[in-house]
Amino acid sequence: MEFKVEATLNNSEARAGVITTDHGKVPTPIFMPVGTAGSVKGVHQRELRDDISAKIILGNTYHLYLRPGLDIISSAGGLHKFMGWERPILTDSGGFQVFSLAACRKLSDEGAKFQSHIDGSRHMFTPENVVDTQRIIGSDIMMALDECTPGTADFAYARKSLDLTRRWLDRGWKRFNETSPLYGHSQAFFPIVQGCVYPELRREAALHVASLDAPGNAIGGLAVGEPAEKMYEMIEVVNDILPQEKPRYLMGVGTPANILEAIDRGVDMMDCVMPTRNGRNGMLFTFNGIMNMKNRKWADDFSPLDPEGSTWVDKTYSKAYLRHLFVSGELLAMQIASIHNLGFYLQLVTEARRHIVAGDFKNWKEEMIIKVTRRL
């Protein structure tokens, strides 16, 4: 994997770049649709590729490991072939999913023991076997196993958690360098900076991560209960240390405003389930604000979903029609909303990149945050 910074700014840490993988180029800043189990919910691969123009998507090691399982993925020749996706894929290590299973998991130096949410069976993730699993999945970018510390954790817990994550990281990095890709394309390994909301822990973690000289680096453990301003502060602390010549991936974030603020602070890659999850529940993000499509006010509004939108759904369907589909319980409602929201997120980061190159990102960002956060 290679990364090239193509444009920077004097009044912002935002930058435009290009990540090059064996499965294609990814212009940054970029938003990655979440395809947890090898599928972006409600969205066909053709729509992802042609209508939304997704350059890279995210899969999840935890879910793919449990179902369909490594034997099936290996027999298919890796996740790209299994799901019919020819562009880049990034896989999360499953650390966040294990974090969410707090009631049925146990952490130790060895790794993370957990029970499957599907059938209650018991499993163990170690820093080593998570690398091996992602080799079998065949993602272009794989993540280190970490503990995702709750945003409300006290310093003592955050300290202990970071020490565990660091020991896991060193073992995972060693395993990655001892193994090779299985399907003829290269794979990159991203370590993850943890440290909760404590600047001294974040600095310590960022210094260690930077010392590994990995192809890219990730920032984890944010948007998990801490205030947004604290999240932005931690991004600034970390990005002041992480090397500028490597892509920076902010994991699991977030709202359109979060994304613009993260880009302003030097983040290159982001992912979140919000566009599809909120879309399935009737929330649409647009360049004029946020709409609840189940509201009565849209019942006779025959204007396009988003006049500034870029996908075919924005031009084809009216607010009244989509509202009708939601109140009627039609599955098409969730599909249209998911495609629309993903298209909006991809267009938002594309516009951000354009304004970075043009040199007026800062002013554009301030105006855009006012628009995308208001309720219509």
- Is 92 an active-site residue? yes
Q: Which residue has the tokens 């890219």?
A: 216
Q: What sign results for the dihedral spanned by CA atoms 29, 34, 38, 43?
A: negative
Distance CA 70, CA 185 (A): 18
Active site residue 271: yes
Q: Do 233 and 262 touch, CB atoms closer than 8 A?
A: no
Q: What CA–CA distance (Å, rounded) separates 184 from 186?
A: 7
Tokens of 98: 């294990």
Look up residue 226 and give its DSSP letter: S
Give the β-pairing of 217-219 and 122-125.
Answer: unpaired
Q: Cis ω on the peptide bond leading into residue 29 (within 30° of 0)?
A: yes
The type of residue at 35 is G
From 92, 146, 306, 314, the catalytic residue: 92
Helix axis angle for 228-239 and 256-264, nearest 10°, is 30
Q: Sign (positive/negative) of CA torsion 44, 50, 52, 53? A: positive
290, β-bridge pairs = 285, 375
Residues with Cβ < 8 Å from 70, sequence gap 6 or more? 133, 136, 137
Other C-beta atoms lying within 10 Å of the C-beta of residue 49: 16
Which listed residue (140, 146, 271, 306) is catalytic? 271
Which residues belong to the active site? Answer: 92, 271
